[in-house]
Amino acid sequence: MNQGRTVFSQLMDFLPLHQFRQCVERYAGNYKIQSFTCLDQFLCLAFAQLTFRESLRDIEACLHAQQPKLYHMGFRGAVSRSNLGHANEHRDWRIYADFAQVLMGTARHLYRDEPFGVELSETVYALDSTTIDLCLSLFPWGQFRRRKSAVKLHTLLDLRGSIPTNVYVTGGQVHDVNILDELLLEAGAFYLLDRGYVDFARLYTFTQACAFFITRAKKNTQFYRRYSRPVERSTGLRCDQTILLTGVRTAQRYPDPLRRVAYFDAEKDLRLSFLTNNFLLPALTIAQLYRARWQVELFFRWIKQHLRIKAFYGTSENAVKCQVWVALSIYLLVAIVKKQLGLELSLYKILQILSVTIFEKTPILEGFSNFSDELPGAEPCIQLSLFDLQ
Q: Say if residue 208 is in the same domain as residue 266.
A: yes
> Given 263, 284, 305, which residue is the final one in a domain?
284
Mean pLDDT, range 123-143, rounded to an integer: 93
Q: CB of 59 within 8 A of CB of 44?
A: yes
Helix axes 38-51, 17-26, angle to 10 degrees: 120
Nearest to 328 by CA among 85, 175, 165: 165
Domain-located, residue 105? no
Closest C-alpha among 93, 90, 54, 113 to residue 322? 93
CA pair distance 24, 18, nearest whole angstrom = 10
∠ CA 31-326-363, rounded to 5°: 105
Exposure of 172 in the CB half-sphere (CA atoms within 13 A): 19
Answering whether pTM is above 0.85, one says yes
Note the pLDDT of residue 93. Answer: 96
pLDDT at 211 over 90: yes
Structural domain contains residue 132:
no
Are 199 and 269 in a shared domain? yes
Q: Is 250's pLDDT higher than 90?
A: yes
Give the closest residue to 117 by CA, choosing from 167, 162, 156, 155.
162
Question: What per-residue string of b and e applies to 179-205 under the rule 16 or more CB within 10 Å gives b?
Answer: bbeebebeeebbbbbbeebbbbebbbe
* Host domain of residue 215: 195-284
What's phi and psi for 26, nearest 5 deg? -60, -35
Tell me whether residue 313 is in a domain. Answer: no
The pLDDT value given to residue 379: 58
Asked whether residue 35 falls in the same domain as residue 90, the answer is yes
CA atoms within 13 A on the CB side of 314: 22
Mean pLDDT of the chain: 91
Last residue of a domain, one of 233, 264, 284: 284
Does one domain contain both 273 and 201? Answer: yes
Spatial distance between the Cα atoms of 28 and 11, rounded to a whole number of angstroms: 26
Do 90 and 33 share a structural domain? yes
Rounded-to-integer distance, Cα 95 and Cα 171, Å:
19
Residues 276 and 356 in one domain: no
Specify the pLDDT at position 384: 59
Strand partners, 133: 150
CA atoms of 311 and 132, how far apart (whole Å): 9
Output the pLDDT for position 167: 94
279 & 221 share domain:
yes
Query: What pLDDT score was predicted for residue 1?
Result: 35
* Residues 274 and 216 sit within 8 Å (Cβ to Cβ): yes
Q: What is the rounded CA–CA span in Å between residue 32 and residue 37?
A: 10
Strands 212-216 and 124-134, sheet pairing: unpaired
The reply to whether 279 and 332 lie within a common domain is no
Check whether residue 254 and residue 323 sit in a common domain: no
Residues 270 and 322 in one domain: no
How many C-alpha atoms does 43 have within 13 Å on its Cβ side?
Answer: 27
Looking at residue 310, what DSSP letter applies? S
User: Residue 2 has what pLDDT?
Assistant: 45
pLDDT tens digits for range 373-385? 655 555 555 665 6
Which of 284, 301, 330 is the last residue before a domain boundary? Answer: 284
pLDDT single digits (tens) 289-328: 999 999 999 999 999 999 999 999 999 999 999 999 999 9
Query: What confidence category does residue 35 fall into, taking pLDDT thresholds of 50, 70 and 90?
Result: confident
The answer as to whether 19 is a domain residue is yes
CA gap 230, 18 in Å, rounded: 57
Q: Are residues 325 and 273 in the same domain?
A: no
Query: Which whole number is the average pLDDT over 241-263?
Result: 94
Q: Is 237 within the bounds of a domain?
A: yes
Residue 135 lies in a domain: no
Domain-located, residue 182: no
With b for 16 or more beta-carbon neighbours within 10 A and e for fewer, the 81-96 pattern comes to: bebbeebbeebbbbbb
- Give me the number of domains the chain comprises: 2
Beta bridge partners of residue 262, listed in sequence order:
239, 273
Are 313 and 48 in contact by the 8 Å Cβ rule? The answer is yes
Rounded CA-CA distance 192/38 in Å is 36
On whether residue 310 sits in a domain, the answer given is: no
345 and 274 belong to one structural domain? no
- Res. 369 pLDDT band, cuts 50 70 90: confident
Tell me what the mean pLDDT of segment 132-148 comes to.
90
Q: H or E segment at 203? A: helix 200-208
